[in-house]
Amino acid sequence: MNFQEAIEVAHNDEAQVGFETGPVLTRIRLWDLPTRIFHWSLVAAVCVAVITGKLGGAWMEIHGKAGLTIVGLVTFRIVWGFVGSTHARFLSFVPTPSKIVAYLKGRWQGVGHNPLGAFSVLALLGLLAVQASTGLFTNDDIAFTGPLNVLIDETLAARLTGLHRQLANGLLILLALHIVAIFFYVRFKKDNLVKPMVTGWKDVPAGQSASKGGPVALMLSLVIALAAVYVASGQPFKKPAPLPVAPTNANAGW
Ligand code: HEM
Ligand code: HEM
């Protein structure tokens, strides 16, 4: 048993005391550290991207860098969704019709993203992926072009730039819903979802558990995320600088 698991067991022992009337609770590490770092870094990067995108002009350089950071973060989260810890995995929260019906009837017993929350999480990740991808091909017709703009023709670039601008509004709506939903849970359902996204820990009905994603899974996710940023930065498509041509001296001769 490693240190992390020992702490979890210790917490479990503490928390399984239970009340005579209430359910017996156990404390688990619901959101692992990589998921939490991912979430709060994403919040920072999206805020910078949205603000600098709206400001435009000289802020576009920073906008592009925030966009590339988001490419890395979203790629990391997608890979982590397959190889990460129990509740970070897409399979653990993908909203199936039976889960949605159970949730709407108040019979959903799971932990982690609830079936409706899972929709918003998947929509946010998907929209951010499309927003960042279209951004890479943009041209603001002033002084800024996305790093992959050179790979496509002007007409397509103009279309993707238009789409990028429109989707930005959709993203803002989705973000507003995300924050209102979290507030609703804290205020009216007395379920503080924010605390586990900060500390990782959550008290859940006994019998639930959570395993961590291993170091290999973490390395794999980081390497794939960095590779995605490298490709998105346009570096692999840059033509090598032409070799300097030796100056010719027209008057040379003898
Ligand atoms: C730019 C702003 C934000 C973005 C892009 C964003 C994005 C996300 C994403 C993608 C997830 C899924 C996490 C995962 O499974 O990896 C998530 C979950 C979550 N976010 Fe945010 N978020 C934002 C702002 C906030 C803010 C301001 C708060 C709280 C004050 C917050 C609280 C949470 C919580 C508590 C969860 C977990 C929800 C649950 O338990 O189902 N988020 N967010
Ligand atoms: C998820 C990441 C991104 C977000 C959230 C985002 C958000 C935004 C927003 C809010 C705007 C302003 C739209 C408006 O005028 O109302 C904008 C514009 C723009 N973004 Fe992004 N962006 C992202 C990624 C990128 C990337 C990676 C690039 C390129 C490297 C990029 C390039 C541009 C350009 C060139 C514009 C100006 C378009 C124009 O007005 O002609 N964006 N973006």
Q: Whose alpha carbon is nearest atom 32 of ligand 2? A: 135
The answer to whether 172 and 153 are in contact (CB under 8 A) is: no
Ligand 1 centroid–CA 155 distance in Å is 36
Best substitution site from 42, 48, 60, 63 to test ligand 2's pocket, by max atoms within 8 Å of Cβ? Answer: 63
Residues contacting residue 242 through CB under 8 Å, at least 6 positions apart: none
Is any ligand 2 atom within 6 A of the Cβ of residue 85?
A: no
pLDDT of the residue at 132? 98
Task: Look at residues 48, 237, 25, 30 and name the one whose alpha carbon lies nearest to residue 150.
Answer: 237
Burial class (CB in 10 A: 0-12, 13-18, 19+), 20: exposed
Over residues 66-100, the pLDDT tens digits come to: 999 999 999 999 999 999 999 999 999 999 999 99
The answer to whether 115 and 95 are in contact (CB under 8 A) is: yes
Could you tell me which residues are beta bridge partners of residue 29? 201
Residue 244 — very low, low, confident or very high, per pLDDT cuts 50/70/90?
confident
Q: Whose alpha carbon is nearest atom 10 of ligand 2? A: 50
Q: Which domains does the chain have, with CATH numbers?
A: 30-237 (1.20.950)
Average of per-residue pLDDT values in the chain: 89
Provide the token pair at 176: 């507003």
